[in-house]
Amino acid sequence: MASLTLRGVRKSFGTVEVIKGIDLDVASGEFVVFVGPSGCGKSTLLRLVAGLEDVTSGTIAIDGEVVNHLPPAQRGLAMVFQSYALYPHMTVYDNMAFGLKIGGDRKADIDRRVRDAAEILEITPFLDRLPRQLSGGQRQRVAIGRAIVRNPRVFLFDEPLSNLDAALRVTMRIEIAKLHESMAGTTIIYVIHDQVEAMTLADRIALLNAGRVEQVGTPMELYQTPANLFVARFIGSPAMNTVPCVIESAAVGTKVRPQGGNSVAVAAAIPGEAAGSEGIFGVRPEDLKLTTESDAIFAGRINIVEKLGEVTMIYITTGDEPIVAKLRGDVGAKKGDNVGLTAPLECLHVFDHEGTAFPRTLG
Amino acid sequence: MSTVRSSIAALLPRRSDLRRQRLRSAWLFLLPMLVVLTAVAGWPLVRTIYFGFTDASLTNIEGARWIGIGNYFSVLSLPSGATLYDGLLVDPAWWRAVWNTVRFTVVSVTLETIFGMIVALVLNAEFKGRAVVRAAVLIPWAIPTIVSAKMWTWMLNDQFGIINDMLLGLGLIGQKIAWTASPDTAMIAVVIVDVWKTTPFMALLILAGLQMIPGDIYEAAEIDGVHPLKVFWKITLPLIRPALVVAVIFRGLDSLRVFDLIYVLTPNNLQTKSMSVYAREFLFDFDKFGYGSAASTLLFLTIALMTIACIAVGRVSVSGEAR
């Protein structure tokens, strides 16, 4: 039930600056995911919010109140750790009740809250067990339970599912989504390096890279209108095909010619003076379709065909970089075939030579 | 369960052949060690126990005669009609040695545990030069006991010792104290030196336990808002308990057979004479080899029983933890 505001947040460890000025607004009740490659600073940012690390400069405010100097316990938040961080010598019940007992809550009240949380997470049968007698998924539920009973203003999750196996991860992901729905109004910050998890859970994603926010937006905004090359390549699997291109005409009737491809019209607002300069052309593998060689953006010989059942991946080489296409079903293409690939106008992305996306002219 | 196992064994005869072969090579690897242990530990132990039942003397070990439990307990009927009880079990000097040893063990191990814990907690914290401090702390433990005992003998010397000088300078004592000779202070001196020497060992074992605790548990406690003192009692202490128990057992058994420190620091002092010192006196100084062997045997039995008790208690606490 709280908003979170970051203003110019910086963090240095010694001479190394890992968070390089972050501004972010999280609305009350929002589910925001910090995502990014390893070492981008997303976990550090979460720890700054939690108060486990001190900010070097900038402010962190919860509900408009600056909490920079408050210890973690007084910030009114709860955190779920990647490694669960359960107290190994306490039962599940005590793990969940410990923080409340310390806080001096009434015994009956503690008991009710612990049992309610256990009920929601379906861990009631394990309340008397020790963490080591539980499976990974059960431990993760206990860790979440310990966070729930605190009735926090903000929930922090630090890669909570990365120690679980793939199948369990999907189950828990759905449960966390359900949990968010059942706790209407609870603000959640969730750190993850897996973009699929980010896309499925988040109301909004903050994509971090090298201590900076590259883009903040809904999952579909990041997918459809990436602000720059980094976002474009990070979101989506396999990654977007990006090849250098020449901007043939700008302002009106924008056209670009990707390296190794044919000239193609794009829906991007490219200023007139950029005409003739170099840029980067991008198209997602799943947006490409087979076509005749004459209509194609890219045409060439198929190097590799991967049949995955639901989709077929084909790799063709036209310029320096291979182009990947992800086609639905079994398209019957064979290695060595000459094919053409094209994509709809609204799926084509153009970036300037520094990697910033040109604004799109379609809605 | 056993029927299942035997039916599996029947199904897989080759496997049990392999198992037998593995067992054989295991014994083969163990054999040299077993031979050495039997020669250097087993045989002397058996001989000591045997001599405890004889009237052996240093000058005539071969001519020792079997006298049963006479060294432990015997009844003498004098011609005058009075009855005299003799033997180790009724020797007040022996029981005094037992009491000295137990007192020394309890006091010094308690102090070492407390100080070792403090040192370990400090060494577990992040600070510059931690590696150097960790190494430096171990120095008392690395010095041979004889050397440190001699060193402390001089430091505690009543005339020239630096300890008296410092305490006088600070005005804490009015006159110089004969630390190692005075009956009132001899045990204190022994405990001080033992604590100084073995606290590093304690600290090292506890530190190993502390380093096994994952850091994020402390972060979880921080978010739970647990006071640092409570974190120590409710989280740190329970989690290092296994390491602590092992360390206390090690030190306890070590202290029960204390010899060199007392022999060098406070020779011939009734207040500090331990079981080992007592046994050595009879073995070599008083030429009552059989009697000394009996004392050694009792010391061995005491330590063996304590070890068994510790292991049993340790098991209980482990299963208690598992619930």
- Domains of chain A by residue range: 4-233, 234-352
Q: What percent of chain B has pLDDT over 70?
A: 92
pLDDT band per the 50, 70, 90 thresholds, residue A196: confident
Nearest CA in chain A to B216: A85
Q: For A85, which of B219, B238, B323 is closest by C-beta distance?
A: B219
Chain B residues within 8 A of A102 when measuring between CB atoms: 224-227, 230
Q: What is the mean pLDDT of residues A272-294?
A: 90
The reply to whether A87 touches chain B by the CB within 8 Å rule is yes
HSE of A277, CA atoms in CB hemisphere, 13 A: 14
The CA distances from residue B165 to A105, B159, B170, B172, B180, in Å, are 56, 9, 9, 10, 15
A66-81 average pLDDT score? 91
Residue B10, Cβ density class (10 Å: 0-12 exposed, 13-18 middle, ≥19 buried): exposed
Summarize pLDDT for B6-16 with one digit per residue, the tens. 555 555 556 67
Domain B91-322 CATH (choose: 3.40.50.720, 1.20.1070.10, 3.40.1190.20, 1.10.3720.10)? 1.10.3720.10
- Residue B211, exposed/middle/buried by CB under 10 A (0-12, 13-18, 19+)? middle
Q: Are strands A154-158 and A77-80 parallel, antiparallel or unpaired?
A: parallel
CB contact under 8 A, A103 and B225: yes
Share of chain A above pLDDT 70, in %: 99
pLDDT at B319: 44
* Residue A72 near chain B (CB below 8 Å): yes
B227 to chain A: which residues are within 8 Å by CB?
102
User: By a Cβ cutoff of 8 Å, what residues of chain B touch chain A?
Assistant: 214, 216-217, 219-227, 230, 234-235, 238-239, 321-323
Residue-wise pLDDT for B77-98, tens only, equals 888 878 888 888 888 999 999 9
The pLDDT value given to residue B295: 93
pLDDT tens digits for range B268-287: 888 889 999 999 998 888 88
The Cα B109–Cα A15 span in angstroms is 45
Task: Give the model's pLDDT for residue B2.
Answer: 52
How much is the average pLDDT of B229-238?
A: 92
Asked if B223 lies within 8 A of A87 by C-beta distance, the reply is no
User: Looking at the predicted structure, is the pLDDT value of residue A350 above 60?
Assistant: yes
Above 80 in pLDDT, residue A252?
no
Secondary structure element (H or E) that encloses residue B83, with its range: strand B83-86
Mean pLDDT across A80-109: 91
Using a CB-CB distance cutoff of 8 angstroms, which residues of chain B are in contact with residue A85? 214, 216-217, 219-220
Say whether the peptide bond before residue A271 is cis (omega within 30 degrees of 0).
no
ipTM value for the complex: 0.81
Q: From start to end of chain A, where are the E strands?
A: 4-13, 16-26, 31-35, 57-62, 65-66, 77-80, 154-158, 187-192, 204-209, 212-217, 241-249, 255-258, 264-265, 278-283, 289-291, 298-307, 311-317, 322-328, 338-342, 348-352
Mean pLDDT, chain A, whole residue set: 90
For B29-41, the DSSP string reads HHHHHHHHHIIII
At residue A216, the pLDDT reads: 95
Half-sphere exposure of residue A2: CA atoms within 13 angstroms, side-chain side: 22
* Chain A interface disruption, residue of B212, B217, B219, B223, most A CBs within 10 A: B223
Contact by Cβ (8 Å): A323, A298:
yes
pLDDT at A71: 92
Given a cut of 90, whether residue A95 has pLDDT beyond it is yes
B217 contacts on A by Cβ (under 8 Å): 85-88
Type and span of the H or E element at A221:
helix A219-224
Q: Is A50 on the interface with B (CB under 8 A)?
A: yes
pLDDT at residue B16, rounded to an integer: 77
CB-based contact (8 Å) between A85 and chain B?
A: yes
Q: Of B217, B225, B239, which is closest to A99 when you measure between CB atoms?
A: B225
Domain ranges, ordered by start, for chain B: 91-322
User: Per-residue pLDDT averaged across A15-31, rounded?
Assistant: 93
Residue type for position B32: P
Partners of B225 on chain A (C-beta within 8 Å) are 71-74, 99, 102-103
DSSP label at A329? S
- A137-188 per-position pLDDT tens digit: 899 999 999 998 988 889 999 988 888 888 888 888 888 888 888 887 789 9
Q: How confident is the model at residue B62 (pLDDT cuts 50, 70, 90)?
A: confident
- Is pLDDT at B315 greater than 70 in this prediction? no
Q: What residue type is assigned to position B229 of the chain?
A: L
Architecture of domain A234-352: Beta Barrel (2.40)
Max Cα–Cα distance, chain A, nearest Å:
77
Q: CB-based contacts of A52: which residues, under 8 Å, 6+ apart? A: A72, B219, B222, B223
pLDDT score for A146: 92
Per-residue confidence band for B4, with pLDDT thresholds at 50, 70 and 90:
low
Structure tokens at B74: 């015997």
Strands (E), A81-223: 154-158, 187-192, 204-209, 212-217
Chain B residues inside the 8 Å CB shell of A71: 222, 225
DSSP code for A114: H
Instruction: For residue B235, list chain A residues with Cβ-Cβ distance below 8 A.
Output: 87, 89
Q: Do A79 and B235 lie within an 8 Å CB cutoff?
A: no
What number is the average pLDDT over the span A18-46? 93
pLDDT of amino acid B320:
45
Looking at the partner chain, which of B223, B230, B235 has a beta carbon nearest the beta carbon of A72?
A: B223
Beta bridge partners of A33: A190, A205
Q: Which of B227, B230, B235 lies nearest to residue A87, judging by beta carbons?
A: B235
Q: How far apart are CA A308 and CA B96, in angstroms?
A: 85
pLDDT digits (tens, 9 = 90+) for A36-47: 998 899 999 999
Confidence of residue A66 (pLDDT cuts 50, 70, 90): very high
Assign domain A4-233 to its CATH architecture: 3-Layer(aba) Sandwich (3.40)
Q: In residues, how long is chain A?
A: 363
Q: Give Cα A84 distance to the centre of its chain.
A: 21
Contact B224 A83 (CB under 8 A): no
Q: Is the pLDDT of residue B31 over 60?
A: yes
Phi, psi dihedrals of residue B246, rounded to the nearest 5°: -60, -45
Q: Is A110 left (phi over 0), alpha (psi -120 to 50) or beta?
A: alpha
pLDDT band at B323 (very low <50, low <70, confident <90, very high): very low
Angle separating helix axes B289-322 and B237-256, nearest 10 degrees? 170
Selecting from A52, A86, A89 the residue whose C-beta is nearest the C-beta of B219 gives A52
